[in-house]
């Protein structure tokens, strides 16, 4: 089943605007002054490795014509939720950075190749990415309520970023030069990921 564009048009821009809403000041979040929930929402945008992965996933899903976000989001939403819940057990505090960057590298390479991909491949990449991103978004300290708020915000932020990129990209995939532009962007993601991997291995 395809997600209806009308449905996306209603909730994605509104939810995107929610990202910009100010809330009362709080000094205990990663971003001072935005509160637990919005600190969580903004977390994927302020973590470069996460943003690189989400950019890769968004471009990968959005370049498919016709746009079909059902499988990617059906994979991404529950798995990221599961991973975020797992962070509360304290078993995993962070994900080995090269794993996250490798996901971005694979996504970028698939975009740069420019070949149509089976939904299963995209879905599998979304599952792996959702799990890694979720596990890497652990909240280090706070009350149970503030941790819950932050994780909920992070979950929403992850979904919004990837869905927004994919959705809006789908408007610019019709022309040949636009498709080439997306492939070039994929090569940039791959190149940057490769460099970051090297840097991570050096340390």
Partner 1 sequence: MNSKSNPKPNLPAWFGLLLLALWLFPSTASAHQETGTVWGFRSGFVHPLTGLDHIAAMVAVGLWGVFLGAPAMWVLPVVFPLVMAFGGALGVLGVPLPGVETGIALSSVILGIAVAFAVRPPLWVAALIVGSFAIFHGHAHGAEMPKAANAATYAFGFVVATGLLHLSGIALGLLVRWSWGKNLVRVGGVAIAFVGFGFLFHFIPA
User: Residues in the site for partner 1, rule: CB under 8 A?
Assistant: 46, 48-49, 52, 101, 112, 180, 183-184, 186-188, 190-202
Burial 22-52 (b: 16+ CB within 10 A, else e): eeeebeebeeeebbbbbbbbbbbbebebbeb
Shortest distance, position 184 Cβ to partner 1, whole Å:
6
Nearest CB to partner 1, comparing residues 14 and 177: 177
How far apart, in Å, are the Cα atoms of 134 and each of 3, 27, 60, 62, 90? 24, 24, 19, 21, 13
Nearest CB to partner 1, comparing residues 119 and 179: 179
The answer to whether the peptide bond before residue 67 is cis (omega within 30 degrees of 0) is no
- Please answer whether residues 60 and 106 qualify as being in contact, where contact means their C-beta atoms are separated by less than 8 angstroms: no
d(CA 113, CA 137): 30
Shortest distance, position 145 Cβ to partner 1, whole Å:
29
Nearest CB to partner 1, comparing residues 81 and 109: 109
Shortest distance, position 46 Cβ to partner 1, whole Å:
7
Please report which helix (H) or strand (E) contains residue 31, including its range.
none
Query: Which residues have C-beta within 8 Å of that of residue 130, sequence separation ≥ 6?
Result: 75, 76, 77, 79, 80, 83, 158
Q: Give helix 144-169 / helix 70-87 axis angle, nearest 10°.
A: 160
Nearest CB to partner 1, comparing residues 110 and 192: 192
Shortest distance, position 11 Cβ to partner 1, whole Å:
29
Shortest distance, position 110 Cβ to partner 1, whole Å:
13
Nearest CB to partner 1, comparing residues 132 and 147: 132
Nearest CB to partner 1, comparing residues 119 and 187: 187
Shortest distance, position 8 Cβ to partner 1, whole Å:
28
């Amino acid at each position: 089943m395809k997600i209806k564009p009308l449905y996306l048009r209603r909730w994605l821009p509104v939810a995107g605007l929610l990202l910009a809403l100010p809330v009362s000041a709080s000094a205990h979040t990663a971003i001072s002054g935005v509160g637990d929930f919005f600190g969580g929402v903004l977390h994927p945008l302020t973590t470069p490795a996460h943003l690189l992965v989400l950019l890769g996933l968004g471009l990968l899903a959005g370049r498919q014509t016709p746009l079909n976000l059902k499988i990617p989001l059906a994979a991404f939403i529950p798995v990221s939720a599961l991973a975020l819940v797992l962070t509360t057990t304290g078993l995993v505090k962070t994900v080995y950075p090269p794993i996250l960057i490798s996901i971005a590298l694979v996504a970028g390479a698939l975009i740069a190749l420019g070949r149509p991909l089976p939904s299963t491949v995209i879905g599998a990449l979304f599952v792996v990415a959702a799990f890694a991103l979720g596990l890497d978004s652990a909240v280090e300290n706070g009350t149970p309520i503030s941790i819950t708020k932050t994780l909920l915000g992070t979950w929403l932020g992850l979904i919004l970023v990837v869905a927004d990129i994919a959705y809006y990209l789908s408007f610019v995939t019709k022309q040949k030069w636009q498709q080439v532009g997306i492939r070039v962007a994929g090569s940039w993601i791959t190149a940057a990921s490769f460099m970051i991997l090297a840097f991570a291995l050096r340390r």
